[in-house]
């Protein structure tokens, strides 16, 4: 049954916060928003989810080339699990994941740094089911059939359970080759969380998490691009990836039946509709569940993690400026939409920026050289 939840406005109704948060430029890289003007100098390192990596790389390019040329941002797409680990080990300036930090991780962060961690969402995205066979574009699947495929109970595309959902499609008898993430992954968390909330047998046998004990016979791939490659390189390949990776690889995608029984194509609009089902608490610990209406049902958010102390002030200023620009500049938001990511709405953006500005607000409570160590560690691994 669908939850009764407050609705977030769709993107078409979102006036960005250019006036509240900066000078109000219209194009990414114009230096107007996020307190731009080219007056900052810093070297930032971040690591984590591959889910938002295409967008983050575009944002970094536009920001460092047109907004703040004195700021370099090195984001390493290593997977959510590794990103959280590096953040807790303080080898990066910020971490990134599709799963928020729970109480155990927050306590570990506070103990290690000597001050509280900060976490906030920056973008929403869809986890799509991509297929190697272009003739299967628009194949209708639901949570039960996906659970059956990944538990190897459904092994061919003409299985009766799939055929029932696709009465007008000529289904091949090809073997299905399910592809999954082999690294610790926020995308896996979003996908497995969806199946856990929808399919009791999946919850009992596999559950949810960044890493799972998968059934035998599946193909693993490192990060989203590794899963995309696993799909394309295997006839009958089927796997879960962020929407932008499916777009880039020009893969066929399935339509997923949502809570109202409607097959939904993964699009920017259907992702925005899904985010409208999310209730966002003050601590930003939330999931996007039980999606109906026009919403695509497998959707998640990406969180960024920083600390309230321990940064050189120049780096703290750059962290706040970069993410403020990314969240408020019209061109930056246009980049997100082009790649299939749904930006935050006005009310949520205001809340996120308030949280973001807590970065280094307790400076002096931690190791002021922590960011220097992050830069050195990042350089050593390149």
Write down all domains in the chain, each with its CATH number in brackets: 19-123+302-381 (3.40.190.10), 126-275 (3.40.190.10)
280-294: average pLDDT: 95
pLDDT at 377 over 70: no
Average pLDDT over residues 227-244: 95
- Per-residue pLDDT at 228 exceeds 80: yes
pLDDT of residue 347: 95
Strand, coil or helix: 43: strand
pLDDT at residue 134 above 80? yes
Q: How far apart are CA 107 and CA 382, in angstroms?
A: 30
Q: Are 92 and 310 in contact (CB under 8 A)?
A: no
Residue 156 has pLDDT above 80, yes or no: yes
Q: Between 134 and 21, whose confidence is greater?
A: 134
pTM: 0.84
Higher pLDDT, 268 or 377: 268
CA dist 246 and 345 (Å) reads 25
Structure tokens at 139: 């194949």
Confidence of residue 65 (pLDDT cuts 50, 70, 90): very high
Task: Look over the chain and give the mean of its residue pLDDT values, rounded to a whole number.
Answer: 88
Residue 250, C-beta contacts closer than 8 angstroms, at least 6 positions apart: none
Q: Identify the pLDDT of residue 364.
A: 53
The answer for residues whose C-beta is within 8 angstroms of residue 160's C-beta and 6 or more apart is: none
Token code pair at residue 40:
């900052």
The mean pLDDT value for 322-349 works out to 96
Q: Give strand pairing partners of 221.
A: 181
**CB 94 within 8 Å of CB 87:** yes
Task: Assess whether pLDDT exceeds 90 at residue 371.
Answer: no
Give the pLDDT mean for 308-315. Answer: 97
Q: Residues of the chain with pLDDT > 70: what percent?
A: 85
Residue 14 has pLDDT above 60, yes or no: no
Cα(18)–Cα(95) distance, integer angstroms: 26
Q: What is the reported pLDDT for 38?
A: 72
Average pLDDT on 76-105 reads: 97
Could you give the angle at the alpha carbon of 341 between the alpha carbons of 337 and 345, nearest 5°? Answer: 80
Question: pLDDT at residue 367 above 80?
Answer: no
pLDDT at 355 over 80: yes
> pLDDT value at position 4?
30
**pLDDT exceeds 90 at position 12:** no
Q: Which of 40-44, 261-265, 371-375 has the lowest mean pLDDT?
A: 371-375
Are the beta carbons of 123 and 52 closer than 8 angstroms?
yes
d(CA 171, CA 136): 8
Q: Which tokens in the block code for residue 234?
A: 């295997």
Q: Which residue has the higher pLDDT, 2 or 48?
A: 48
Mean pLDDT check: name the lowest of 122-126, 173-177, 250-254, 373-377.
373-377
Query: What pLDDT is stored for residue 276 in this prediction?
Result: 86
For 45, phi and psi rounded to 5 degrees? -125, 140
The pLDDT, as a whole number, for residue 37 is 56
Q: What is the mean pLDDT of residues 89-111?
A: 97
């Amino acid at each position: 049954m669908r939850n009764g939840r407050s609705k977030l406005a769709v993107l078409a109704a979102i006036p960005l916060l250019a006036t509240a948060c900066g000078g109000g430029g219209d194009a990414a890289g114009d230096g107007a928003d996020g307190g731009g003007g080219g007056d900052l100098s810093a070297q930032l390192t971040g690591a984590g989810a591959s889910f938002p990596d295409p967008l983050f790389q575009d944002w970094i390019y536009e920001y460092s080339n047109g907004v703040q040329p004195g700021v370099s941002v090195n984001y390493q797409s290593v997977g959510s699990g590794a990103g959280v680990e590096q953040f807790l080990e303080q080898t990066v300036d910020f971490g990134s994941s599709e799963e928020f930090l729970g109480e155990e991780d927050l306590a570990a962060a506070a103990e290690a740094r000597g001050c509280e961690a900060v976490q906030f969402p920056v973008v929403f995205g869809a986890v799509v089911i991509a297929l190697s066979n272009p003739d299967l574009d628009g194949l209708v699947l639901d949570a039960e059939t996906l659970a059956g495929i990944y538990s190897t109970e459904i092994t061919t595309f003409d299985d009766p359970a799939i055929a029932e959902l696709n009465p007008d499609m000529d289904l091949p008898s090809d073997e299905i080759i399910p592809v999954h993430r082999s690294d610790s992954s926020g995308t896996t968390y979003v996908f497995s969380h969806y199946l856990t909330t929808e399919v009791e047998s999946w919850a009992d046998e596999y559950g949810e998490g960044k890493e799972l004990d998968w059934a035998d016979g599946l193909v693993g791939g490192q990060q989203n691009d590794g899963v995309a490659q696993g799909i394309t390189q295997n006839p009958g390949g089927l796997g879960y990836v962020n929407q932008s990776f499916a777009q880039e690889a020009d893969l066929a995608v399935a339509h997923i039946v949502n809570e109202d029984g409607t097959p939904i194509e993964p699009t920017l609009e259907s992702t925005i509709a899904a985010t409208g089902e999310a209730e966002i608490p003050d601590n930003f610990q939330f999931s996007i569940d039980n999606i109906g209406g026009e919403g695509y049902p497998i959707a998640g958010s990406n969180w960024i993690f920083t600390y309230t102390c321990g940064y050189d002030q120049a780096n703290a200023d750059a962290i706040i400026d970069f993410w403020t620009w990314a969240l408020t500049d019209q061109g930056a938001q246009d980049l997100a939409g082009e790649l299939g990511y749904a930006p935050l709405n006005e009310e949520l953006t205001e809340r996120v920026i308030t949280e973001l500005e807590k970065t280094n607000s307790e400076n002096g409570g931690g190791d002021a050289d922590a960011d220097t160590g992050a830069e050195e560690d990042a350089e050593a691994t390149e």
